[in-house]
Amino acid sequence: MAKAQASFTCTACGASFPKWSGRCDACGAWNSIIEEAPLSSGPKSLGAKGRTVPLTDLSASEPPPPRAASGISELDRVLGGGLVPASAILVGGDPGIGKSTLLLQAAASFARQGLSCLYISGEEASAQVRMRAQRLGLAEAPVRLGAETNLRDILTTLDAERPRLAIIDSIQTMWLDSVEAAPGSVSQVRAAAHELVTFAKKRGVAVILVGHVTKDGQIAGPRVVEHMVDTVLYFEGERGHQFRILRAVKNRFGPADEIGVFEMTGSGLSEVQNPSALFLSSRDTPAPGAAVFAGIEGTRPVLTEIQALVAPSTLGTPRRTVVGLDSGRLSTILAVLEARVGIPFAGLDVFLNVAGGLRVNEPAADLAVAAALLSAREDIAIPPDMVLFGEISLSGALRPGSQTENRLKEAAKLGFTQAALPRGSRSGAASGMRLREMADLTAFTGEMFGAG
Ligand code: TYD
Ligand code: MG
């Protein structure tokens, strides 16, 4: 018996349901479930005979796919060493963050390396893209340009041109005449992405899909596309900051969690080869409330400054404002400080911020967060030549983590001379840093701020 066709989909997380409800059971979003036309795929009855699928051994020796490097090393790093032929890549990000700029620069770069490259814009007219290219100094790059939203026409064109790379900007503007829904709806986005990914695999054309993400989920998020593609990159950053981070959240052909760092300038995005220096560059005199976290982003150590401000609150429920870190993590650390070390933050507003607009997801940032909070609260500055890292467990113990050596080496390279880290971290003696290993948060508080 055929299963009932689910025809309601959450625009926030992509989960599907057999009936509508006001709140998505999967992700908890409100008003995000919409009806969609059922997919008309699959054999009508399984009695019909299919063809046999050709099978191979695991040992079948195929040379690793040759990768094409763009020459933009921050981009190549995030792709895992270059573009894999016939792969499908999604580049997501807030509108206006710089996706089109990045991909136009990438297209020009790939084209200059001899990779035939097609850029299809569904958002801008060709003249607008050309104007942008001129401003970026890319006008003479051999990129073929098209402005179209009808996917059938685009696929026909791709089939005729057979480029090695096709960039579709953006997937939300594409529409298939066989799907009865507005462009940007979940059904259209999913169907269009499916067609393009299938085309990529069949014809050996790498495709890059641009997808806008909005916080309120008004436009069908690229979430529904994520599982179809090989690689998912997110382009993030704070609008007010010039720094942009390209982050691999999924990559079938390379390490996930790798980041590339760019700076938005008047003439497009420029690469930032040494992000630590950049994220710390605004440091001047040591101030209470700042702690330098020696983190790892992908395969690379990155130093960032964690900043905290603690002030008496006038509100019944004190403020907890976090930028660049998980707010749940802040609550946990505040609770551990109160319950295990005896330092309460009740009645105090807490503001926490990662300098430079980077987003830090590593649990090893805990110690630097706690240090910044304590430093702000006690009004005692942390030595300016110190880096910190270590995960805090609910008992208040500091848990040794990974890549101690790499973190310390990067810190030493940037002129730091001492590090606070969990006891039992595999020694980083080679770095020449003064190591202050501590077993728990109480020991840390006692040593750094002279109180428990
Ligand atoms: P864009 O690539 O159009 O964003 P997206 O495709 O993600 O929507 O980038 C638009 C922003 O980038 C716009 O606010 C202006 C800024 N920008 C620069 O600062 N310098 C430049 O050289 C370019 C092309 C854009
Ligand atoms: Mg754009």
Q: Which residues partner with 387 through β-bridges?
A: 292, 419
* Element spanning 361, H or E: none
Convert the pLDDT of each residue in 374-388 to its tens digit: 999 999 999 999 999
Select the CATH number that applies to the domain covering 73-273 from these four: 3.40.50.300, 3.60.15.10, 3.40.710.10, 1.10.287.3510: 3.40.50.300
Cα angle, residue 436 at apex, residues 431 and 438 outer, rounded to 5°: 130
**What b/e readout covers 168-182, taking b as 16+ CB neighbours within 10 angstroms?**
bbbbbbbbbeebebe
The predicted structure's pLDDT at residue 450? 80
Q: How far is CA 153 from CA 157, 189, 229, 331, 364, in A?
A: 6, 16, 22, 52, 50
Q: What's the mean pLDDT when you consider all of the chain? A: 88
How large is the C-alpha radius of gyration of the chain?
25
Tokens 């430079």 sit on residue: 356
Smallest CA-to-CA distance from 181 within 19, 5, 42, 34 is with 34
The predicted structure's pLDDT at residue 4? 46
CATH T-level assignment (fold) for domain 277-449: Ribosomal Protein S5; domain 2 (3.30.230)
> Residue 325, CB half-sphere, CA atoms under 13 Å: how many?
30
> Residue 432, CB half-sphere, CA atoms under 13 Å: how many?
9
Cα 210 to ligand 2 centroid, rounded to whole Å:
8
Residues 6 or more apart in contact with residue 375 via CB below 8 angstroms: 288, 289, 290, 291, 308, 381, 382, 448, 449
Cα 103 to ligand 2 centroid, rounded to whole Å:
9
Q: Where are the domains of the chain?
A: 1-39, 73-273, 277-449
Phi and psi at 353, nearest 5°, equal -150, 140
Residue 264, helix vs strand vs coil:
strand
Q: Is the CB of 96 under 6 A from ligand 1?
A: yes
Cα 62 to ligand 1 centroid, rounded to whole Å:
41
Residue in 168, 244, 264, 265 to alter for ligand 1 test, most ligand atoms within 8 A of Cβ: 264
Smallest CA-to-CA distance from 277 within 355, 351, 352 is with 355
Q: Is the CB of 268 under 6 A from ligand 1?
A: yes
Higher per-residue pLDDT: 75 or 7: 75
Convert the pLDDT of each residue in 115-154 to its tens digit: 999 999 999 999 999 999 999 999 899 999 999 999 999 9
State in Å, rounded, how far the first CA of the chain is from the last one.
66
Separation CA 207–CA 360 (nearest Å): 29
The predicted structure's pLDDT at residue 203? 92
Whether the Cβ atoms of residue 353 and residue 313 lie closer than 8 Å to each other: no
Cα 265 to ligand 1 centroid, rounded to whole Å:
9
Residues 6 or more apart in contact with residue 335 via CB below 8 angstroms: none
| Joined tokens for residue 168 | 């579709």
* Element spanning 381, H or E: none
CB atoms under 10 Å from CB of 259, counted, come to 22
Among all ligands shown, which has an atom nearest to the Cα of 92? 1
Q: Is the CB of 97 under 6 A from ligand 1?
A: yes
Cα 232 to ligand 1 centroid, rounded to whole Å:
21
Whether the Cβ atoms of residue 253 and residue 367 lie closer than 8 Å to each other: no
Residue in 101, 124, 136, 208 to alter for ligand 1 test, most ligand atoms within 8 A of Cβ: 101
> Which range has the worst mean pLDDT, 41-55, 105-119, 158-172, 181-195?
41-55
Bond from prior residue into 100 cis (ω within 30 degrees of 0): no
Smallest CA-to-CA distance from 70 within 262, 226, 202, 323 is with 262
Does residue 219 register a pLDDT over 60?
A: no
Higher per-residue pLDDT: 369 or 451: 369
Cα 126 to ligand 2 centroid, rounded to whole Å:
13
Residues 6 or more apart in contact with residue 211 via CB below 8 angstroms: 90, 91, 92, 93, 170, 171, 172, 189, 221, 222, 225
Give mean pLDDT, residues 44-57.
Answer: 76
| Joined tokens for residue 326 | 């998980």
Residues in the chain, overall count: 452
Question: Measuring from atom 13 of ligand 1, which residue has the nearest CA?
Answer: 96
Q: Is the CB of 101 under 6 A from ligand 1?
A: yes
Separation CA 107–CA 111 (nearest Å): 6
Among all ligands shown, which has an atom nearest to the Cα of 237? 1
Whether the Cβ atoms of residue 242 and residue 263 lie closer than 8 Å to each other: yes
Smallest CA-to-CA distance from 388 within 318, 304, 332 is with 304
Convert the pLDDT of each residue in 322-374 to its tens digit: 999 999 999 999 999 999 999 999 999 999 999 877 889 899 999 999 999 99
Smallest CA-to-CA distance from 360 within 395, 389, 402 is with 389
Residue type, 382: I
DSSP output for 184-199: TSHHHHHHHHHHHHHH
Separation CA 187–CA 257 (nearest Å): 29
Question: Measuring from atom 23 of ligand 1, which residue has the nearest CA?
Answer: 268
Q: How far is CA 275 from CA 77, 214, 283, 296, 314, in A?
A: 14, 27, 14, 12, 38
Among all ligands shown, which has an atom nearest to the Cα of 102? 1
Separation CA 158–CA 147 (nearest Å): 13
Whether the Cβ atoms of residue 235 and residue 91 lie closer than 8 Å to each other: yes
Predicted confidence band of residue 160 (pLDDT cuts 50, 70, 90): very high
Cα 266 to ligand 1 centroid, rounded to whole Å:
9
Convert the pLDDT of each residue in 253-298 to its tens digit: 888 878 899 999 988 999 988 888 777 766 667 789 999 999 998 8
* Element spanning 342, H or E: none
Tokens 């709140």 sit on residue: 23
